Amino acid sequence: MSGERVSLTIDGRAVQVPPGTLVLDAARQAGVEIPVFCSHDQLDPVAVCRICLVEVEGSRKLVPACSERVREGMVVRTDTPQVAEARKSVLEFLLINHPLDCPVCDKGGECDLQDLTYQYGPALSRLADAKMRKPKAVDLGPFIVLDEERCILCRRCTRFDHQVAQERTLVVGQRAHEALITTAEGVPYASVFSGNTIELCPVGALTSKFYRFRARPWDLVRVDEICHGCPVGCHIQLHFRANVEGARLERVVSRPFEPIDDGWLCDRGRFNYGFVQSPERIAQPLVRPLGAPRGTLVPTSWEEAFRRVVGRLQEVLATQGPQGVGFIGGGRLTNEEAYLLQRLARQVVGTENVDHRVAGEAAASLDVAPGRITDLDRAAVILVVGAHPGQSAPVVDLRIRRAAARQGALLLTLGPVDPELRVPHQFLPAAPGHLADRLEALAQSLAGGGEGVPPRVAQELHEREGLLVALWDGREAAAGRALAAFLQTWQAQGREARLLVVGDQANSRGAEAAGLRPDLLPGYRLAADPEARRQAGLAPEPAAPGLSTQAMLEHAVAGRLGFLYLVGANLVETFPDRALATAALESEAFVVVQDLFLTETARLADVVLPAAPFTARAGHLTNLEGRVQATGPRSTDPAAGLPVEAWTDGQIFEHLGEALQGRPLVAGAGELATALAAAGLGSGTFAGALPVALLHEASDGSPTPSGSGEGLVAAPLPTIHGGGGTSRFDRAYGERRPLAAVVYLNPEDAQRWGVVPGDRVGLEAGDGVVEAEVQVTRRVMAGVLGVPRGVPGLAWNRLTGAGRVRVRGRLLEEVG
Amino acid sequence: MLKELVIGLETTLKNFFRPKVTIAYPEEKKPRSERFRGRHELRRYANGLEMCIGCELCQVACPANAITVQAAENDPANPRSPGERYAYEWRVDLLRCIFCGFCEEACPTGALRLTQEFELADVTRQSLVWGREKLVSDQRTDIPVPEAVYPEFRGHQPLAVIQPGAQGRGEA
Ligand code: SF4
Ligand code: SF4
Ligand code: SF4
Ligand code: SF4
Ligand code: FES
């Protein structure tokens, strides 16, 4: 930051700051502390609390430092008796109606009002009247309790809701003494970012329902972590209460890191932590007794479970060879664990059948114009292809909202269903399987042609100078290629372009870079490249080309794959073709599942190995922009209080490797770190990306219904609070965000099939009928059925796996 | 020699007629000062509600780490204490306690009091970890609930809903 500087003195200390700086920030730079309540780095100043009043020479009255900009030669004083008196008076006023119930307040001990009152405030109140009574414990939304009495009306919460989330649900109601925080129209404050207001609130007015009365700040042991909720990789801190039996995870708070999260978290990341200590965790290894039908599992010891796994693996290797063995999953592992898994598969077992893709996506990155999350801040155009950032990368969505609403970026969305973006944007409908066509048309429009592109969009795209950031969900290989071509066309016109790919799971990108793909070795080296194979210590030629997830499942059904190892992969729930996944699990193949919970997939396994949650492991994760981040020290498995004997995924791989080959998988942590650095996954670096040439349809598990015919094409929609594991088995969290089995229809289709919003309908899929409630919205293009993923009771992948879906009238008439 | 004998007897006789200081413990107990610090007690308000609000201040004040407090939300229909919060677990390890009285001093509601009781000997460790069931007094005091401090509240969530599995583990 070069350029002009403004000089001023604060309490006699000279500082030089860029013009436009707030006096508050200049004071910070000078090392002068000015107390604040309403001011916050990420929010526009409002200067409503007045605690930051300072004296400025030449000004008749005290001025608020949080909204006053610096001027050349300004002389600011914070250490005068007037300022001290002002602070004291402001605090006395704030405390007039404050209940001072610090002993029962969750914020007590980390409360700005408490701290500043001790530091600057009066010891006594002179007001003779009783304090005002306002509602306590108001149910503000699914996760938040509001205590109106404690609120000091700093408006940080409402400003966050307006300025950052762009939602405008929280408002200040009433006037003067009666003023209180409430929601517009009495709707619950159900934003996916609601939890941020808890941290923003300088007092204990907004508190978390989960953390309510669970601990005091001094009880907590704090561990820095990376959120495992989605591929954004926000920085979080885990707070354990260790001074009770077992170490209990009590809350998750943010750890501001501007390049990714700006200090914000989504409610999934903040509140979906109870699963780590859920009583439903698998407590010990389970096996299917010999001869028992699938679905029967009995507890056993780790030795016995490993004996079964190793014994059966050796049998299959002897009869079917390495091609008869397949490993699926890994998008939830750390980079280290993903590397160990691919090493176990390739080096020890000798198979190329490894794939981390469990949800039919084609890629988790793409080697064109690699972007960073912060690129969104200076984007002139944002193009969202297929992705639903609000659901699958929420904190990135905040940046998109900001760019579109406050920086005037042109926001385009392209896909079968318009993502729920809270800011003005233009939706370009594209049927499932035809995203590529739409993207090609867009590319042509850059050159002046382009059929079917709305003229206004074409013109804007033509005229906008500057950066284009595309966000793709990694589905449909053809769309990826077309998007790459579009970005290249944009770049060829001398404009900047960037691409972000939103992976399906938290560490999809790390798993991809670590070689958990049948066609790739670690570091994006081709599995067919003899030189790369030699360096990885593999035979120059693979015994057989590796199989993708889909192909492995097909081979298992056909009896050619006798051993299937699933790592944190609930295929029945996540794979787009439920029939195929179920058939493979029910086939003759020996199925090993490594998971935290007895999911519908784990129930069908032959051996279930209980894995430990993310808190029990150390390593690195790779976020959607490729940033390799340390996941913090291995803290604890909070289920320690429960009788759970879980191993981390990495420990399981290492044990299996040793049991199979008689020596460790890697010689030590040093070798592992070197191998990962060689794969481009060194700590603190940015990972490589998938070459466009490797985007094949064959690896793309999403079946595209062909032919026109009658019926709708199902388009899966990610669901932030959904999923088949961590959210479903987190009872408290699930209860607060109940997920409804709802499908979305375009009004035209609703009319054609004779349904009205709220109807329960039967959806005829290939293998029977799926029931759901219908909602009608223009967000869904005609001919498409929007089906949320990961909602209990809605088997979305029976609809996507089944060609066209027919709507079979109403099932039940709603009476009354 | 005779002289010594006489001096000795004199002492004996003098003491024989002095008032006795030995107490026939346990039949008889030595009087304790008003500020004597014996085992803990958690008191009740005049209306029977517990005075303890589960604030954990005694826990953090304790230099011996003897106290464990875990709080939960009162059920407004059937509250244990006035206001929103009560201690569902309150436990002191009397083997660790040094009877310093810091906890009593930290307590903002006056719930906690160190009583005159000092006969705490026992033969196991566990029996000297006292929980709520022994510590919460069954007597009411004549202290009225400070109504101005504890208003009505709503929005109750039972403990089991907030963290399933927590209740069984923590209850002492
Ligand atoms: S609820 Fe908290 S953040 Fe919101 S206005 Fe009141 S004190 Fe400020
Ligand atoms: S956006 Fe993703 S990484 Fe960030 S808090 Fe939410 S789930 Fe976690
Ligand atoms: S008397 Fe002292 S040592 Fe004993 S519990 Fe109270 S604070 Fe702790
Ligand atoms: S005894 Fe007193 S200090 Fe201890 S938790 Fe109860 S109210 Fe708080
Ligand atoms: S911090 Fe300046 S007025 Fe509130």
- Digit-coded pLDDT (tens) for A79-90: 999 999 999 999
Query: Does position B168 have pLDDT exceeding 70, yes or no?
Result: no
The Cα A103–Cα A485 span in angstroms is 62
| pLDDT band, residue A815 (cuts 50/70/90) | very low
Query: Does position A602 have pLDDT exceeding 90, yes or no?
Result: yes
The Cα A2–Cα A23 span in angstroms is 19
At B6, which helix (H) or strand (E)? helix B2-17
Are B152 and A103 an interchain contact pair (Cβ–Cβ within 8 Å)?
Answer: no
DSSP bridge pairs for A138: A146
- Percentages helix, strand, coil for chain B (3-state, rounded to 5) are 25, 15, 60
So what's the architecture of A373-501 in CATH?
3-Layer(aba) Sandwich (3.40)
Which atom of ligand 1 approaches the CA of A172 most closely? 5
Catalogue the E-assigned strands of A29-86. Answer: 53-56, 63-64, 74-77
At A773, which helix (H) or strand (E)? strand A768-776
Mean pLDDT of A576-605: 94
User: What share of chain A in percent tops pLDDT 90?
Assistant: 76
Domain A6-94 has CATH 3.40.50.970: no
What was the pLDDT predicted at A136? 85
All domains of chain B, ordered by start, with CATH? 32-146 (3.30.70.3270)
A636 against A210, higher pLDDT: A210
Do the beta carbons of residue A617 and residue A227 sit within 8 Å? Answer: no
What was the pLDDT predicted at A810? 65
Q: How confident is the model over A620-630, as pLDDT tens digits?
A: 999 999 999 99
Closest residue CA from atom 1 of ligand 5: A36
* DSSP class per residue in A598-626: --TTGGG-SEEEEBP-GGG---EEE-TT-
Tell how far the Cα of A49 is from the centroid of ligand 5, in angstroms. Answer: 5
Find all residues with CB under 8 Å of A659, minimum gap 6, and list them.
A306, A310
The Cα A788–Cα B163 span in angstroms is 27
The Cα A469–Cα A402 span in angstroms is 14
Mean pLDDT of A394-405: 95
At A768, which helix (H) or strand (E)? strand A768-776
Q: How confident is the model over A489-513, as pLDDT tens digits?
A: 999 999 999 999 999 999 999 999 9
Residue with tokens 């404690």: A150
Shortest distance between the Cα of B69 and any Cα of chain A, in A, equals: 9
DSSP bridge pairs for A77: A55
Do the beta carbons of residue A365 and residue A335 sit within 8 Å? Answer: no
The Cα A700–Cα A550 span in angstroms is 8
Distances, alpha carbon B59 to alpha carbons A91, B39, B131, in Å: 29, 15, 14
Secondary structure of residue B17 in the 3-state scheme: helix
The Cα A649–Cα A342 span in angstroms is 13
Tell how far the Cα of A26 is from the centroid of ligand 5, in angstroms. Answer: 15
The angle at the Cα of A641, spanning A635 to A646, to the nearest 5 degrees, equals 65
Do the beta carbons of residue A588 and residue A623 sit within 8 Å? Answer: no
CA quadruple B89, B94, B98, B100: dihedral sign: positive
Task: Render the burial of A442-458: b for 16+ CB within 10 Å, e for the rest.
Answer: bbbbbeeebeebeeebb
CATH code: domain A713-810 is 2.40.40.20
**Could you state, in order of their start, the residue ranges of all structural domains in chain A?**
6-94, 102-208, 217-277, 306-362+508-636+645-695, 373-501, 713-810
Average pLDDT value over all residues in chain B: 86
Write out the residues of chain A at the interface with chain B, using a CB-CB cutoff of 8 A.
99, 101, 103-104, 108, 130-131, 133, 135-139, 145, 149, 209-210, 212-214, 216, 218-219, 243-246, 248, 274, 277-279, 641-642, 731-732, 735
Domain A306-362+508-636+645-695 has CATH 3.20.20.105: no
Query: Does position A365 have pLDDT exceeding 60, yes or no?
Result: yes
What was the pLDDT predicted at B169? 37
What was the pLDDT predicted at B164? 45
Find all residues with CB under 8 Å of A448, minimum gap 6, and list them.
A462
Query: Left, alpha or beta for A263 (phi > 0: left; psi -120 to 50: alpha)?
Result: left
CATH code: domain A217-277 is 2.20.25
Query: Does position A705 have pLDDT exceeding 70, yes or no?
Result: no
Task: Note whether ipTM > 0.90 here.
Answer: no
| pLDDT band, residue A766 (cuts 50/70/90) | confident
Residue in B with minimal Cα distance to A281:
B165
Do the beta carbons of residue A584 and residue A578 sit within 8 Å? Answer: no
| pLDDT band, residue B152 (cuts 50/70/90) | low
Residue in B with minimal Cα distance to A242:
B68
Q: Is A477 exposed, middle or buried (0-12, 13-18, 19+ CB in 10 A)?
A: buried
Largest Cα–Cα distance of chain B, in whole Å?
Answer: 90
Residue from A39, A62, A155 whose mutation best tests the ligand 5 pocket (most atoms within 8 A of CB): A39
CATH code: domain A102-208 is 3.30.70.20
CA-CA-CA-CA dihedral for A618, A624, A628, A630, to nearest 10:
-30
Average pLDDT value over all residues in chain A: 91
Residue with tokens 């794969």: A679
Do the beta carbons of residue A163 and residue A44 sit within 8 Å? Answer: yes
Asked whether B53 lines ligand 4 (CB < 6 A), one says: yes
Query: Does position A34 have pLDDT exceeding 80, yes or no?
Result: yes
Do the beta carbons of residue A614 and residue A228 sit within 8 Å? Answer: yes
HSE-up (13 A, CA, CB side) for residue A23: 30
On whether the pTM is more than 0.95, the answer is: no
Do the beta carbons of residue A325 and residue A561 sit within 8 Å? Answer: yes
The Cα A116–Cα A666 span in angstroms is 54
What was the pLDDT predicted at A708? 54
Asked, as a colleague might, if the bond just before B146 is cis with ω within 30 of 0, I would say: no
Residue from B36, B90, B98, B128 whose mutation best tests the ligand 3 pocket (most atoms within 8 A of CB): B98
| pLDDT band, residue A699 (cuts 50/70/90) | very low
Query: Does position B20 have pLDDT exceeding 60, yes or no?
Result: yes
The Cα A353–Cα A328 span in angstroms is 8
Mean pLDDT of A643-668: 92
The token pair at A802 is: 């089944």
Phi/psi of residue B123, each to 5°?
-110, -5
Asked whether B61 lines ligand 4 (CB < 6 A), one says: no
Residue B65, amino acid: N
Residue with tokens 């010594």: B4
Query: Does position A753 have pLDDT exceeding 90, yes or no?
Result: no
Tell how far the Cα of B53 is from the centroid of ligand 3, in angstroms. Answer: 18
What was the pLDDT predicted at B162? 44
What was the pLDDT predicted at B156? 47
Q: How confident is the model over A51-70, as pLDDT tens digits?
A: 999 999 999 999 999 999 99
Find all residues with CB under 8 Å of A716, minimum gap 6, and list them.
A576, A787, A788, A789, A796, A797, A800
Stated length of chain A: 816
Residue from B42, B59, B112, B135 whose mutation best tests the ligand 4 pocket (most atoms within 8 A of CB): B112
Q: How confident is the model over A517-573, as pLDDT tens digits?
A: 999 999 999 999 999 999 988 988 888 899 999 999 999 999 999 999 999 999 999
Mean pLDDT of A349-354: 95
Query: Does position A196 have pLDDT exceeding 60, yes or no?
Result: yes
Which atom of ligand 2 approaches the CA of A266 most closely? 6
The Cα A770–Cα A791 span in angstroms is 13
Residue of A167, A157, A234, A628 whose CA lies nearest to A395: A234
Find all residues with CB under 8 Å of A461, minimum gap 6, and list them.
A381, A410, A442, A445, A446
Residue of A28, A32, A35 whose CA lies nearest to A50: A35
